[in-house]
Amino acid sequence: MAKHNKIVPECHHAIDALKYEIAAEMGLPVGKSIADLNVEFATELGAFSSNSIKEDYWGHITARDAGAVGGAITSRLIKKAEETMFNL
């Protein structure tokens, strides 16, 4: 089994949605909103290339903030699992 294989591959979209939800709650400029803003500025400057802007770019986010998002994801997943276990 490869290191990055997910046990439940279908969870990828749900985890991504949670990641962007948490980043938005923390006020971090990532995702489509920042990509749209970059496209607007790049178009005004005449420097737009469809390959130059990626909507999943986190390079401008500090390691501390990215780690906080990961920690918040983990906390929420644990809380959800605990709630599910208590309701069984």
Tell whether 43 is covered by a domain.
Answer: yes
3-state secondary structure 13-55: HHHHHHHHHHHHHCCCCCCHHHHHHHHHHHHHHCCCCCCCCCC
| Total of domains in the chain | 1
Question: What domain range is 72 assigned to?
Answer: 9-86
Tell whether 60 is covered by a domain.
yes
What does the pLDDT read at residue 39?
53
In a domain, 3, yes or no: no
Task: From 4, 11, 20, 13, select the one nearest 70 (Cα to Cα).
Answer: 20
pLDDT for 71-84, tens place per residue?
Answer: 999 999 999 999 99
Q: What is the pTM of this model?
A: 0.63
Domain assignment of residue 2, yes or no: no
Look at residue 1 and tell me if it is in a domain. Answer: no
For the segment 23-46, what is each residue's pLDDT rounded down to a tens digit?
989 998 886 554 455 555 555 555
Lowest mean pLDDT among 5-9, 10-14, 38-42, 62-66: 38-42
In Å, how far are 1, 2, 54 from 7, measured between CA atoms? 10, 11, 27
The more confident residue out of 57 and 20 is 20
Better-scored residue on pLDDT, 3 or 26: 26
